[in-house]
Amino acid sequence: MIDHMGISPTDMERARQFYDAALKPLGITNVMEVTPEQTGGYHGIGYGVAPKPFFWLSTDNRRPLPDGPRGAGVHIAFQAGSRAEVDAFYAAAIEQGARDNGPPGIRPHYHPAYYAAFVIDPDGVNVEAVCQKPE
């Protein structure tokens, strides 16, 4: 089981705005923020369900990243509690400038109740919201 994961966006504030809006319909919020002074060098924003963050945005300057796109090949799927939450995630993400990568709908090739939506975030990360409950 994965405890938490993180990505390093090219623009922290743009990423904050995007994930604040896109994850809100799923009940996932910014539950922790750490400063460079606290961490010894990086700024981190932890999203999750209070009090536990499980998805982090980080400027982790201890390990410089190459310039250019950072999200190529990364796929993150967030669990939704209902199909309506998947729809709201998709609408909020698109409103924040995400690119469509698969509108809300059933993906029967996974299983009959797999309802998901996919977007590409500002850094090229393939972000999914999925509800696997029967309607």
CATH of residue 13? 3.10.180.10
Query: How far apart, in whole angstroms, are the C-alpha atoms of residue 130 and residue 28?
Result: 13
Query: How far apart, in whole angstroms, are the C-alpha atoms of residue 135 and residue 117?
Result: 16
Count CB-CB contacts under 10 A for residue 121. Answer: 25
Give the model confidence (pLDDT) of 34-85 as tens digits: 998 998 888 999 999 999 999 999 986 555 555 555 667 789 999 999 999 9
Q: What is the mean pLDDT of residues 92-109?
A: 97
pTM of the model: 0.89
Q: What is the mean pLDDT of residues 117-127?
A: 94
Is 3's pLDDT higher than 60? yes
Decide the pairing of beta strands 105-106 and 126-131: unpaired
Is 19's pLDDT higher than 60? yes
Q: Is residue 64 part of a domain?
A: no
Q: Is residue 111 part of a domain?
A: yes
Q: Please name the amino acid found at residue 86.
A: V
Domain count, the chain: 1
pLDDT at 60: 66
Query: How far apart, in whole angstroms, are the C-alpha atoms of residue 99 and residue 78?
Result: 17
**Residue numbers of the domain that contains 49:** 5-59+70-131
